[in-house]
Amino acid sequence: MTASAPEDNPVRLERITRLLSTSTHEVYTEGYLFNEDKVRERTCTITRRSLSDHNGSMSNLQLQELTPVTHIKPTVYIYSRDAVEESVYESIEDIRPIRSGECLWIDIIGNKDKTLLASISRRFMIHPLFILDIETNEQRTKLDVFEDALFLVMKMIYPDKITQEPCFEQISFYVKENILITVQEKSKDIFDKIKKKIVHNIGKTRKSKIDYLFYSLIDTIVDQYMDTLDIVNTKVEAIDDQLMKNLSRDTLETIYDLKRQMLDYRRLVSPLKEIINRLQKEEETQIIQESTVIYLKDLFDHVVQVNDTIDTYRETLSSCIDFYMMLNSNAMNEVVKTLTIISTIFIPLTFIAGLYGMNFDNMPEIHWKYGYYVVLVGMAALASIMLIFFKRKNWF
């Protein structure tokens, strides 16, 4: 059988032409997204079948998790010293190229729209591995530095409005020259104040390059850490007051919950010290301007303060646990001491009762008319003497 030449196969010729006209990055991105879609589609199909076989029907929450993610519309700010444009775009391709002196900030609420993230990857030449990091909510706090770009993943901590329990949200930053892309996991947007400053030209944001906006957003997250720790401080003070009043197992459980939270805070915040140090080094990247380094030094001080506060609360909670155990031990000692005193008093009384409980005929006191009453009075007097002795010894 004779193999056909490439020119005899029009479909093959068209495929080769398309591959030659497509950049390596686009081919890699499309292949990555195609494989990811296939895996997710297969996973959803298996999940649907398993849930149907097990329960017969799926709950509303399960159906919601299997529902395709709705399209996210990014909010775009194009600003300069003299003007600002705030728009919501249907597609990343609709964003106009920025001109000289302008800065571009793309703010995305939600990290599950694969089509949108793929468009960003193609438009701004972001590696697909970074897109995968953006989609993965369990990422640790980290910084990747390149000659012309920065990629930062942080965790935002804020209290729930109802329960005041801490909520964690991942925020990803991708910074290039005059371009900043932020992807927030949830709709809890803490950057409203910065957006208002950009729109109303308040502060230095519009007078500076994109690195100052990058610093401002990180500083806002760090300030949110301090606000959350203030709530923890209130809880720690309440625990201290509660321990002085009465002992409760609920108090001990609250202490352990707070201590576990402090471990989570420590794990999320401690890498920021090294990250801020790296951002201050000029040899690491050309994104950060020299005029912004002084602000990063101030931010570093704030991060150190947050870490010190977390360590202080951890030590305080450990002390509260030790104090709880000591109070519990003292309470147990008081009970044991009381029981010991009672037992000690009854030892001679039990001896006397046992002595006269023996069945011997030759015991004159048994046949005496007032013998019973004399023994009772003697036992009461003996118990009183022992109580007076214990009191003078300050044993109770």
Q: DSSP characters for 147-164?
A: SSEEEEEEEEEEE-TTT-
Q: Which residues touch 198 (CB under 8 Å, ≥6 apart)?
A: 77, 79, 84, 86, 105, 205, 206, 213
- The pLDDT, as a whole number, for residue 139 is 85
Mean pLDDT of 201-216: 92
- The pLDDT, as a whole number, for residue 245 is 78
- The pLDDT, as a whole number, for residue 335 is 86
Q: Angle 48-52-53 (CA atoms, 0-180°, nearest 5)?
A: 120
For 11-28, how does the pLDDT look when each residue is reduced to its tens digit (9 = 90+)? 444 444 444 444 444 443
Q: Out of 1.20.1510.10, 1.10.3720.10, 1.20.58.340, 3.20.20.70, which CATH number does the structure's domain 330-393 have? A: 1.20.58.340
Q: Does the structure show a pLDDT above 70 at 104?
A: yes
Residue 91's pLDDT band, with cuts at 50, 70 and 90, is confident
Tell me the pTM: 0.71
- The pLDDT, as a whole number, for residue 69 is 55
The percentage of residues in the chain with a pLDDT greater than 90, rounded to a whole number, is 24
Contact 288, 149 (CB under 8 A): no
Q: Does the structure show a pLDDT above 60 at 97?
A: yes
- The pLDDT, as a whole number, for residue 16 is 40
- The pLDDT, as a whole number, for residue 214 is 94
Q: Does the structure show a pLDDT above 90 at 308?
A: yes
Mean pLDDT of 245-265: 86
Residue 183's pLDDT band, with cuts at 50, 70 and 90, is very high
Q: Does the structure show a pLDDT above 90 at 186?
A: no
For 37-80, how does the pLDDT look when each residue is reduced to its tens digit (9 = 90+)? 443 443 333 333 333 443 433 333 343 344 455 678 889 999 99
- The pLDDT, as a whole number, for residue 282 is 62
Mean pLDDT of 389-396: 81
- Is the CA virtual torsion 388, 393, 395, 396 positive or negative? positive
Q: Does the structure show a pLDDT above 50 at 210?
A: yes
Residue 156 to residue 171: CA distance in whole angstroms: 7
Please, what is the average pLDDT of the chain? 79
Comparing 104 with 164, which gets the higher pLDDT?
104
- Within 10 angstroms of residue 377's Cβ, the number of other Cβ atoms is 11
User: What residue has token string 């993965």?
Assistant: 136
Contact 220, 194 (CB under 8 A): yes
Name the H helices within 109-209. Answer: 114-124, 128-135, 192-200
Contact 119, 93 (CB under 8 A): yes
- The pLDDT, as a whole number, for residue 48 is 39
Domain with CATH 1.20.58.340 in the chain: 330-393
Q: How far is Cα of residue 209 from the mean position of the Cα atoms in its chain?
A: 31
For 338-376, how does the pLDDT look when each residue is reduced to its tens digit (9 = 90+)? 888 888 888 988 888 888 878 777 777 777 878 888 888
Residue 2's pLDDT band, with cuts at 50, 70 and 90, is very low
- Is the CA virtual torsion 53, 56, 57, 59 positive or negative? negative
For 106-119, how does the pLDDT look when each residue is reduced to its tens digit (9 = 90+)? 999 888 888 888 99
Domain with CATH 3.30.460.20 in the chain: 75-327
Q: Does the structure show a pLDDT above 70 at 381?
A: yes
Comparing 117 with 244, which gets the higher pLDDT?
117
- The pLDDT, as a whole number, for residue 7 is 41
Residue 122 to residue 32: CA distance in whole angstroms: 12
Comparing 190 with 31, which gets the higher pLDDT?
190
Mean pLDDT of 317-329: 86
Mean pLDDT of 371-390: 88
- The pLDDT, as a whole number, for residue 284 is 60
Domain spanning 75-327: CATH superfamily: CorA soluble domain-like (3.30.460.20)
Residue 58 to residue 64: CA distance in whole angstroms: 10
Q: Which residues touch 114 (CB under 8 Å, ≥6 apart)?
A: 33, 36, 37, 69, 135
Mean pLDDT of 96-102: 88
- The pLDDT, as a whole number, for residue 71 is 72
